[in-house]
Amino acid sequence: MGGIGKSELALQYSWQEWPKETYRGGICWLNVVNSDPGLSIVTFASSYLGLTIPDTESLRERVAYCWQHWLKNDTDQTLIIFDDVRDYEQIKHYLPPKEEKRFKVIITTRCQYLSASVQTLHIEKLDEAAALDLLRSYITDGRIDEQIEQAESLCRDLGYLPLALELVARLLRRRNSWTVEKIREKLAEKGLEDASLVKNPKFDSEMTAERGVKAAFDLSWDALKEEPEAQNLALYLSLFALAPFPKVFIDGLFPEQEEDEIEEWLTDNLVHLNLVRTLDNGWYELHTLIRRYLRDKLEQSEIKEKAKQAYCKVMVTVAKNIPHTPTLEDIANFEPIIDHLKVVADELDKSLEDEDLDWPFIGLGRFYLGQGLYNDAEPYLTDCLRFTQQRLGENHPDVATSLNNLAELYRSQGRYPEAEPLYRRSLSIRELQLGENHPSVANSLNNLAGLYRSQGRYPEAEPLYQRSLSIWEQQLGENHPDVATSLNNLAGLYESQGRYPEAEPLYL
């Protein structure tokens, strides 16, 4: 990806080998982005090797002449570096002849696949220790180790990207009174537009990189100009959290599109240009800063709302699949994707359709309640009630559901006085909107009765259980599983009071 350190690595290798005289035939650096590589080879040979090159019409012939007459000593090794190649066709006809073993070639590219004839070394992002060492190499006054936790967080903020780390480190070296926390706050506020991620020609002229982080990403983005569908897909993907996401989610964003077409946009464009990283088993992820870059692009685009609505649809389906009482296996299955569901609840509630508004919150509530993580569940269940009331009105059935779910949380925690008015209000709304004999009314009656039973308020619980049983029998039939549950609950109430003869036939 842009900024990962490809050119720097090639340059450092060159300087390492120069004093060893590994390449007595010379080292020729060719910047493919800013110049024609063929003309650059001819100019290099003319200027540094003193070759008089025939003035032929064909540039390829002139380059071939250069390779043929490079140096008199055929045993001296020569290193040719083609930097930032976008397409193998740019350099294919200018490469040294393969039979000339004295020529060694290094190519840097942000393309995942360049040519089958090229041996590829993929550059990975730095690990934390290496990233901290990079900061220390510029900031030598001890600030990094004195503020090590903030420095570790800064490395995470920047996704361990060498270009970003170097730019920030250079600025911190100049701003010797700044704390690491201060620059983290600036980055959080301004993102890729912050001056710390832009190359300053006044102070950073000796840097290998020619541009800042955003400008480096711009080059990859511009390479997609002829592929608008791939660009749109990249914008959609920026909505995912900073966590791996499966291919099935990507396909779900475009339900009307052929999967093969989506695969082409994704693999042949985004993965190929290292804007998206492919993982094992059909999962993908975005780098921290690339996600920020693409999200900024999305917010400026005309497809912003369409993308957000599509993402919400995918995540609502996920939420609906989280069971009311998840098992350990369910928890393990949903754990890797729960952060993507949080994006909807935390950021995209306005993009949810009315009928889907409560589902992301319900799903998250179930996920955390199923593990007894009440403090994690409560904010989502509280937000669910607030958002449904604001958009749907105080007496909407989804408000009743939200009240019921929050009351369930309070009851699980033993917060009975807080739970009771929510249960009562939920029951009232359902009776008003759905009728007194609706199954949802039976559910509310059952839950309120369960609260009373937990408090030992048996006389108040009994008529609610009985009415709940009557509604379910009437609406669902005498042999429905919900009827069995209702019979079980009423029997449990009788058992709690020692009324065993009345409990036994219900249990049976």
- The answer to whether 179 touches 150, Cβ cutoff 8 Å, is yes
- The position carrying tokens 């073993």 is 101
pLDDT single digits (tens) 251-309: 999 999 999 999 999 999 999 999 999 998 899 999 999 999 999 999 999 999 999 99
State how far Cα 279 lies from the chain centre. 13
- The whole-number average pLDDT for the span 328-337 is 95
Provide the CATH topology of domain 223-301: Arc Repressor Mutant, subunit A (1.10.10)
Per-residue pLDDT for 9 more than 80?
yes
Alpha carbons 171 and 139: distance in angstroms, whole number:
9
Q: What is the pLDDT of residue 43?
A: 92
- The position carrying tokens 């249960």 is 423
Alpha carbons 175 and 23: distance in angstroms, whole number:
41
3-state SS of 164-216? HHHHHHHHHHHCCCCCHHHHHHHHHHHHHHCHHHCCCCCCCCCCCCCCCHHHH
Alpha carbons 181 and 146: distance in angstroms, whole number:
12
The closest alpha carbon to 206, from 175, 240, 237, 166, belongs to 166
Q: Provide the residue ranges of all domains of the chain, joining segments of one domain with +.
A: 6-107, 128-213, 223-301
- The whole-number average pLDDT for the span 425-433 is 95
Burial of 377-395, coded b for 16+ CB within 10 Å and e otherwise, reads: bbebbebbbebbbeebeee
174: number of CA atoms within 13 Å, CB side? 11
140: number of CA atoms within 13 Å, CB side? 2
Beta pairing, strands 78-83 & 27-31: parallel
Q: Rounded to two decimals, what is the model's pTM?
A: 0.86
Task: Please name the residues in contact with 120: beta carbons below 8 A apart, sequence gap of 6 or more.
Answer: 113, 114
Q: What is the pLDDT of residue 190?
A: 85
Q: What is the pLDDT of residue 244?
A: 95
Alpha carbons 207 and 363: distance in angstroms, whole number:
49
Task: Calculate Rg over the CA atoms of the chain.
Answer: 32
- The answer to whether 81 touches 27, Cβ cutoff 8 Å, is yes
Neighbours of 368 (CB within 10 A): 22
Max CA pair span of the chain: 113
- Mean pLDDT of all residues in the chain? 92
Neighbours of 141 (CB within 10 A): 10
Burial class (CB in 10 A: 0-12, 13-18, 19+), 470: middle
3-state SS of 22-78? CCCCCEEEEECCCCCHHHHHHHHHHHHCCCCCCCCCCHHHHHHHHHHCCCCCCCCCE
Provide the CATH topology of domain 6-107: Barnase; Chain D (3.30.370)
Task: Please name the residues in contact with 231: beta carbons below 8 A apart, sequence gap of 6 or more.
Answer: 221, 224, 225
Q: What is the pLDDT of residue 204?
A: 65
pLDDT single digits (tens) 445-472: 999 999 999 999 999 999 999 999 999 9
- The whole-number average pLDDT for the span 344-349 is 96
Residue type, 452: Y
Q: What is the pLDDT of residue 207?
A: 66
pLDDT single digits (tens) 181-197: 999 998 988 888 877 78
Alpha carbons 3 and 165: distance in angstroms, whole number:
10
Task: Please name the residues in contact with 317: beta carbons below 8 A apart, sequence gap of 6 or more.
Answer: 252
- The whole-number average pLDDT for the span 141-168 is 93
- The answer to whether 402 touches 423, Cβ cutoff 8 Å, is no
Residue 301, classed as helix, strand or coil, is coil
Per-residue tokens: 207: 């840097």
Indicate if 223-301 has the same CATH topology as 6-107.
no
Q: What is the pLDDT of residue 76?
A: 87
Alpha carbons 361 and 53: distance in angstroms, whole number:
72
Per-residue tokens: 131: 């990233």
Per-residue tokens: 252: 């779900």
